[in-house]
């Protein structure tokens, strides 16, 4: 460990692994350590199932729910938008070749106690029972507008003033409160209603991401990797390693060593690894972070698919905050043996939201009610941390904790922002050499 | 490229997909499409320094280097070659560890979907041989259904009198009898002198293909972003029709 590096990355969560890969590719000498003996930190997928029981302090059950080894349980459930930033990063870095994905079967939205398939294109909108006949036409026009809108081409504005806020845009198309609700939360994936008073460009952009993602592989706009999300950090760690990054797992980090207000090394209690910058998750530098909220998640084992999803083997359900008188949405993700994360005939559903009350578990109830009978439930409330500064002075760059959203867009925003902060430049994917050779005979 | 999904124009309903049985699905994945060249993933495994990357380089461009360290393989960790096995062509994709085993663990994702592991040791270093049972356990746990091939490298460095810390024929025989039917092939090679390598690759291709033919199934609903063709064009034409 007593060597000199450009960067020491601490924690092998997804964000840290992506950064480690990007930094190695950019020619930096990287040491990547983790106090755990496995990759992924909080982004790991726990296997076998008994590891989940141990993690939550429950008595292991062995093979009660099929073969324990067939389970790969994410602690933080998320899906990838098929046309989103993470997929672009996977493609640009070549990490996609280490992984296999499947489309998620369906995307649903909650209204008045029932769930409906999210109508994502004009055709589905016309067929959906989510809206009345006249509202359908208005919604169709809205989708058409979103698809064609180009802020630089006034011909596509169709009378919309680009300075309008989202609420005014809805009103322009005459969309009622119900349609606004599912458009903003199930299509644009806003977590609360703050976007309503912001510029409508965000709303248009996010609706567009949804429909472009849907157009790529079908069924739903979401992808999920076989064997769980824990495969993602490992893929990026591998990228870092083949570009010269050094990995040390099971390595306790005693101390970050500072000199003149900036970091100069990291100590494991015995040796000191020197470096000119550190990238880490909040757990490695708690004194440099502040708590900004809490997320509550319930991991549930089911022995049946979720009702009214056409027996989908993987689904997402969004419960818009207005529907249940909250400020933040409730998210339900369900995956199954189709993605190699459960034993056959079992289903893994995770309900999550941002904590608003003193009884977080009760806040999940509308989501839990949709699941039907639950065989086993693991509930956790975790604090969300953010760094107190941008790290430019201390040269300690800290990622934010993972939020309640069910996709990786905010994760990637944080990663790209961190990369720019610590290197002073934007990530240039053209630096990645083509990493696959094909040789004929 | 070994993209494993059908293009949209060749869409096949999921009724044909037999993915309920893990073992079946692994071998079914070797088929690019119904008509494509079958492709098999082989992972290199074994102690640091036994010459895994040398085997990888011989496989990739038939070169050899005495340089150590990462510079020689930077950015490269997998290579696909088409090998003719008499009746037809098959593709072997060899994966190198990227040196992650040096100070750390390789991680479960390296093993996913591997049809075979080429377990390497150095014939002039018995320690790299005696530890193999641990590696076999790793492979069996993480790459279910994968065939295991054993490869003794550095055969050029064995002293003529068999002295030193070498792996003897008796050692190898004892090990093979203990492993019984776990091993699908046993080879002895020299990357330096380029001995035995081509025969090994060809033999592995043969064994893997025979195995696969006996389990033939279809599977085609995987998505690899960037490799799987988008259905964008298909979708938008759909849309035009309905509006």
Q: What is the DSSP letter of A183?
A: I
Residue in the structure block whose two tokens are 């495994």: B45
For chain B, what is the largest distance between any 2 Cα atoms, rounded to a whole number of angstroms? 83
Residue in the structure block whose two tokens are 């190699």: A340
Task: List the alpha helices (DSSP H) in A94-185.
Answer: 122-127, 133-148, 166-172, 177-182
pLDDT at B37: 87
Indicate yes or no: pTM above 0.90. no
pLDDT at B216: 61
Distance CA A24, CA A432 (A): 10
Classify A328 in phi/psi space as left (phi over 0), alpha (psi -120 to 50) or beta: beta
Give the 3-state secondary structure percentages of chain A, helix then strand then coil, rounded to 5: 35, 25, 40
- Under a CB-based contact definition with an 8 Å cutoff, are residues B92 and B40 in contact? yes
Edge-first strand listing for the sheet containing A80-81: A80-81, A222-225, A101-103
Tell me the nearest-neighbour CA distance from A26 into chain B, angstroms: 12
Condensed to tens digits (0 to 9), the pLDDT of residues A172-226 reads: 999 999 999 999 999 999 989 999 999 999 999 999 999 899 988 878 999 999 9
Residue A205, Cβ neighbours under 10 Å: how many? 13
Enumerate residues 222 to 241 of chain B having a beta carbon within 8 A of any beta carbon in chain A. 222-228, 230-232, 235-236, 238-239
Question: Hey, is the C-beta of B75 within 8 angstroms of any chain A C-beta?
Answer: yes
Q: Find out whether the peptide bond into A48 is cis, omega within 30 degrees of 0.
A: yes
Length of chain A measured in residues: 441
- Residues whose CB is less than 8 angstroms from the CB of residue A276 and which lie 6 or more positions away in sequence, other chains included: A6, A7, A263, A264, A395
Residue B117 tokens, joined:
């592991």
DSSP H or E stretch at residue A347: strand A347-354
Contacts of A100 in chain B (CB under 8 A): 4, 112-113, 222-224
Contacts of B100 in chain A (CB under 8 A): 237-238, 241, 247
Is the CB of A101 less than 8 angstroms away from the CB of B113? no
Contacts of A441 in chain B (CB under 8 A): 81-84
pLDDT at B77: 86
Q: How many CA atoms lie within 13 A of B48 on its CB side?
A: 12
**Phi/psi at B139 (5° precision):** -70, -45
Give the residue from chain A lying closest to B85, CA to CA.
A441
Give the residue from A299, A300, A282 showing the smallest Cα distance to A291: A282
Select from A87, A230, A439 the residue whose CB has the most chain B CBs within 10 Å, as the one to mutate to test that interface: A439
Give the residue from chain A lying closest to B84, CA to CA.
A441
- Residues whose CB is less than 8 angstroms from the CB of residue A118 and which lie 6 or more positions away in sequence, other chains included: A107, A108, A109, A182, A186, A187, A318
Question: Hey, is the C-beta of B108 within 8 angstroms of any chain A C-beta?
Answer: yes
Residues A34-45: what's their mean pLDDT?
A: 93
Residue A231 tokens, joined:
């495969």
Judging by DSSP bridges, how do beta strands A30-33 and A246-248 pair with one another?
Answer: parallel
pLDDT at B30: 59
**A-B Cβ pairs (cutoff 8 Å, strict):** 150
- Domain positions in chain B: 14-242
Is the CB of A242 less than 8 angstroms away from the CB of B235? no
Give the residue from chain B lying closest to A37, CA to CA.
B105
Enumerate residues 110 to 149 of chain B having a beta carbon within 8 A of any beta carbon in chain A. 110, 112-113, 141
Tell me the nearest-neighbour CA distance from A318 into chain B, angstroms: 24
Give the residue from chain B lying closest to A140, CA to CA.
B243
DSSP H or E stretch at residue B188: strand B183-188
Give the residue from chain B lying closest to A24, CA to CA.
B75
Is the CB of B242 less than 8 angstroms away from the CB of A338? no
Judging by DSSP bridges, how do beta strands A330-336 and A347-354 pair with one another?
Answer: antiparallel
Select from B80, B100, B233 the residue whose CB has the most chain A CBs within 10 Å, as the one to mutate to test that interface: B100
Condensed to tens digits (0 to 9), the pLDDT of residues A79-107 reads: 999 999 999 999 988 899 899 999 999 99
Comparison of pLDDT for B7 and A297, the residue scoring more: A297
Q: A136 to each of A111, A213, A323, how far by Cα in Å?
A: 16, 22, 20
B123 SS3 class? coil
Residue B104 is nearest to which of A70, A218, A248, comparing CB atoms? A248
pLDDT at B69: 58
- Residue B28: pLDDT band by 50, 70, 90 thresholds? low
Condensed to tens digits (0 to 9), the pLDDT of residues A315-361 reads: 999 999 999 999 999 999 999 999 999 999 999 999 999 999 999 99
pLDDT at A260: 95
Residue A241 tokens, joined:
């390693």
**CATH number listed for the domain at residues B14-242:** 3.40.50.300
Residues B223-231: what's their mean pLDDT?
A: 74
Residue in the structure block whose two tokens are 């150590």: B68
Asked if the model's pLDDT at residue A240 lies above 90, the reply is yes
| CA A81 distance to own-chain centroid | 9
Give the residue from B91, B92, B51, B93 showing the smallest Cα distance to B73: B51
Contacts of B145 in chain A (CB under 8 A): none
Q: What is the DSSP letter of A186?
A: I
Give the residue from B129, B123, B114 showing the smallest Cα distance to B176: B129
Condensed to tens digits (0 to 9), the pLDDT of residues B103-122 reads: 778 888 999 989 999 999 99
Is the CB of A144 less than 8 angstroms away from the CB of B230? no
pLDDT at A402: 94
Is the CB of B230 less than 8 angstroms away from the CB of A216? yes
pLDDT at A287: 95
- Residue B36: pLDDT band by 50, 70, 90 thresholds? confident
The rounded radius of gyration (Å) of the Cα atoms in chain B is 20
Asked if the model's pLDDT at residue B239 lies above 90, the reply is no
Distance CA A39, CA A21 (A): 14
Residue A439 tokens, joined:
């040789």
Residue in the structure block whose two tokens are 């750390």: B104
**Mean pLDDT taken over chain A:** 92
Task: List the alpha helices (DSSP H) in A218-288.
Answer: 231-242
Q: A201 to each of A161, A163, A182, A295, B240, how far by Cα in Å?
A: 10, 8, 18, 28, 25
Condensed to tens digits (0 to 9), the pLDDT of residues B159-171 reads: 777 677 899 999 9
pLDDT at B234: 46
Distance CA A390, CA A86 (A): 23
């Amino acid at each position: 460990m007593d060597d000199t590096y450009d960067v020491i990355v601490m924690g092998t969560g997804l964000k840290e692994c992506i950064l480690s890969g990007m930094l190695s590719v950019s020619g930096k000498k990287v040491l990547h350590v983790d106090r755990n003996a496995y990759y992924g930190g909080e982004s790991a997928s726990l296997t076998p199932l008994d590891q989940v029981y141990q993690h939550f302090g429950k008595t292991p059950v062995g093979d009660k729910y099929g073969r324990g080894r067939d389970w790969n349980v994410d602690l933080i459930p998320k899906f990838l938008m098929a046309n989103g930033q993470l997929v672009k990063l996977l493609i640009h870095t070549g990490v996609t070749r280490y992984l296999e994905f499947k489309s998620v079967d369906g995307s649903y939205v909650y209204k008045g106690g029932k769930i409906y398939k999210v109508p994502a294109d004009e055709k589905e909108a016309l067929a959906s029972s989510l809206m009345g006949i006249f509202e359908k036409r208005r919604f169709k026009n809205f989708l058409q507008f979103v698809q064609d809108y180009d802020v630089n081409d006034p011909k596509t504005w169709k009378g919309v003033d680009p300075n309008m806020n989202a609420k005014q845009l809805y009103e322009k198309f005459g969309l009622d409160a119900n349609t606004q609700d599912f458009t903003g939360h199930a299509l644009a994936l806003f977590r609360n209603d703050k976007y309503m008073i912001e510029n409508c460009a965000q709303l248009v952009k996010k609706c567009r991401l949804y429909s472009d993602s849907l157009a790529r592989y079908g069924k739903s706009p979401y992808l999920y990797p076989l064997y769980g999300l824990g495969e993602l950090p490992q893929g990026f760690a591998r990228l870092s390693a083949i570009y010269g990054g050094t990995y040390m797992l099971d390595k306790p980090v005693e101390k970050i060593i500072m000199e003149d207000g900036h970091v100069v090394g990291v100590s494991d209690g015995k040796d000191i690894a020197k470096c000119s910058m550190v990238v880490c998750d909040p757990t490695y530098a708690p004194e440099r972070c502040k708590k900004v909220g809490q997320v509550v998640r319930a991991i549930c084992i089911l022995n049946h698919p979720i009702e009214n999803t056409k027996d989908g083997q993987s689904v997402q359900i969004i419960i818009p905050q207005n529907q249940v008188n909250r400020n933040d949405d409730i998210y339900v993700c369900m995956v199954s043996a189709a993605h190699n994360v459960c034993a056959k005939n079992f289903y893994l559903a995770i309900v999550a939201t941002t904590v608003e009350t003193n009884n977080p578990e009760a806040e999940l109830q509308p989501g839990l009610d949709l699941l039907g009978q639950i065989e086993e439930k693991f509930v956790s409330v975790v604090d969300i941390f953010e760094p107190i500064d941008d790290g430019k002075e201390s040269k300690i760059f800290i990622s934010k904790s993972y939020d309640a959203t069910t996709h990786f867009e905010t994760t990637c925003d944080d990663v790209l922002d961190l990369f720019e902060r610590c290197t002073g430049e934007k990530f240039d994917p053209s630096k990645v050499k083509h990493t696959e050779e094909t040789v004929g005979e | 490229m070994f993209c494993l999904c059908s293009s949209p124009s060749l869409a096949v309903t999921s009724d044909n997909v037999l993915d309920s049985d893990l073992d079946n699905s692994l071998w079914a994945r070797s088929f690019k499409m119904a008509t494509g060249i079958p492709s098999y993933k082989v992972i290199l495994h074994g102690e640091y320094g036994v010459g895994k990357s040398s085997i990888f380089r011989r496989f990739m461009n038939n070169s050899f280097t005495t340089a150590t360290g990462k510079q020689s393989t930077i950015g490269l960790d997998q290579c696909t070659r088409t090998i003719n096995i008499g009746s037809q062509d098959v593709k072997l994709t060899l994966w190198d560890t990227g040196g992650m085993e040096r100070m750390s663990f390789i991680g479960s994702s390296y093993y996913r979907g591997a049809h075979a592991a080429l377990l390497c040791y150095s014939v002039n270093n018995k320690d790299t041989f005696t530890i193999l049972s641990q590696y076999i356990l790793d492979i069996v746990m993480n790459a279910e259904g994968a065939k295991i091939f054993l490869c003794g490298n550095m055969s050029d460095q064995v002293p003529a009198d068999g002295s030193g810390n070498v792996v003897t024929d008796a050692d190898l025989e004892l090990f093979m009898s203990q492993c019984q039917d776990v091993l699908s092939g046993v080879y002895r090679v020299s990357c330096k002198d380029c001995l035995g390598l081509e025969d090994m690759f060809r033999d592995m291709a043969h064994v893997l293909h025979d195995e696969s033919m006996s389990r033939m199934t279809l599977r085609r609903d995987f998505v690899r972003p960037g490799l799987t063709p988008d259905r964008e064009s298909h979708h938008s034409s759909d849309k035009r029709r309905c509006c």
